[in-house]
Structure 1
Amino acid sequence: MTNKIKSEPSIAYSESAIRNNLSIVEYCRTSVAAVSGCTAGVLGLTSLYGALFFIFAVTSFWFMLLCKAGIDTWRKFFISRKSLLLNGIFGHFFTYILCWTFIYGMVHVY
């Protein structure tokens, strides 16, 4: 009895296309952070509820992105699914906090 190991065919990626896709995702992620921060500010969310809203917004965007790319075909456009979720999350969190506190202060404090 012989064990045959199936090797997956190697996939060639276009570096410029991947870089372009990631820059578009970065722009969209920044926009989502700003819009969700403004939404949290208008809704008057504070402390833990505001942080949970950010996590909800990030994961919602991630699922929408994967659905748009195709549940089975996302590998054609991106290298890693995990990197789509976690790349630059702290920088976008700071954008979220900036918009959240600014709009919260404008609507609920002044």
Structure 2
Amino acid sequence: MSLGKTIYVDKELGENVGCVSRIRIMSALVAGVGAGLLGLTNLAGALFFVVSALFTSFAILCFGCEGGPERYFPSGKKELFSFGSLFTGGMTYILAWTVAYDAIYIF
């Protein structure tokens, strides 16, 4: 008999959050290198990060969660689209962006 309540196991929930975090960091790394290679600077580079973070969230929602994040996270879509979650790979993005831009356009 189902009561309609989903039970979350802490270990599995932690693995889900860790997996999403690793995906976001790798996505930020790739986006940062892309922004550096494209020669984006200032707000164009920042906007590129925001767009890539939103794209990553939609990709996780569609492919990783199969359209149902409530099965994997108690907060559902809020886990994927919250401010903190979107900017998880921010520092990685800035590092990759700076290194790629400097390697191509400055050195």
Q: Per the shorter chain, which TM-score range?
A: 0.7 to 0.9
- Is 1:70 aligned with 2:41? no
Unaligned runs of 5+ in 1: 1-7
* Cα shift readout 1:9-47 (whole Å, capped 9, x = no counterpart): 322111111110110111111111111001000000011
**Is the contact made by 1:58 and 1:85 (CA closer than 8 Å) also made in structure 2?**
no
Partner of 1:85: 81
Identity score, percent: 33
TM-score, length-scaled by structure 1: 0.84
Cα drift, residue 90 of structure 1 = 4.3
Using the size of structure 2 for normalisation, the TM-score is 0.86
Contact 1:36 1:57 (C-alpha < 8 Å) held by counterparts: yes
Q: Size of the alignment, in residue pairs?
A: 102
CA RMSD, 1 decimal? 1.6
Structure 2 regions of 5+ residues with no counterpart? none
Amino acid at match of 2:40: L
Give the Cα separation in 2 of the matches to 1:91 and 1:32. 10
